[in-house]
Amino acid sequence: SAVISQKPSRDICQRGTSLTIQCQVDSQVTMMFWYRQQPGQSLTLIATANQGSEATYESGFVIDKFPISRPNLTFSTLTVSNMSPEDSSIYLCSVVAEPYGYTFGSGTRLTVV
Amino acid sequence: AQSVAQPEDQVNVAEGNPLTVKCTYSVSGNPYLFWYVQYPNRGLQFLLKYITGDNLVKGSYGFEAEFNKSQTSFHLKKPSALVSDSALYFCAVRDSEGQNFVFGPGTRLSVLP
């Protein structure tokens, strides 16, 4: 199945700044997914990133806050903009690894102070 | 719309005893069901999935799950728990028409020595 390299693995950021998270996949994939896992919570889908088109955002998430790039079929970035402590979460990217399953990156643990 | 329930926030079991982590789901079409495990400070790891066929699915690390269509359940089981099984377990569902996963809230499993 696909292998995802996600970085950074963790970061501590000042409020008001931005952080860009990168995911590199070892094979070409049509769709990449970005999830947020808030402390003690389950995973929530932020957006779906397709190569060559704008990302599709879920309810409650907007492009200005979470801009996504998808320049090719193996790479995507998620930026968390103008951060506040409420953005402290684990952010994960994932891809469809086979006809039905998903593979996840190792996650980025973000702490905003 | 899909939904997943994991009725127990926490499950405690003694090492060597059987364990069960419960999951019920709701989808409009045929369900694709998954279990993932998240160890501390780690990303999500795939355990097993049910797509079609035998209702009893065997996965990684000795885990298995039984699909019960009439009860819309997909409980995770292991005959003999290990302390190293202590982690956060997520059930997820996807219907046969869509691409997105819906994750349950997670169940924290603690295996006591």
What pLDDT, in 10s, does the model give residues A7-50?
A: 999 999 999 999 999 999 999 988 899 999 998 888 899 999 98
SS (H, E, C) A4-28: EEEECCEEEECCCCCEEEEEEECCC
Per-residue pLDDT in tens (0 to 9) along chain B, 113 residues: 788 999 999 999 999 999 999 999 998 888 889 999 988 777 788 899 998 889 999 998 999 999 999 999 999 999 999 999 999 999 999 876 666 678 999 999 999 99
Contact across the interface for A105 and B104, Cβ inside 8 Å? no
Three-class DSSP category at B13:
strand
Distance (Å) from the C-alpha of residue A42 to the closest C-alpha of chain B?
A: 5
A103 confidence band (pLDDT: 50, 70, 90): confident
Three-class DSSP category at B69:
coil
Nearest beta carbon to residue A42 from set B45, B51, B104? B104
Contact across the interface for A107 and B42, Cβ inside 8 Å? yes
- Give the closest residue to A82 by CA, choosing from A107, A37, A46, A112: A112
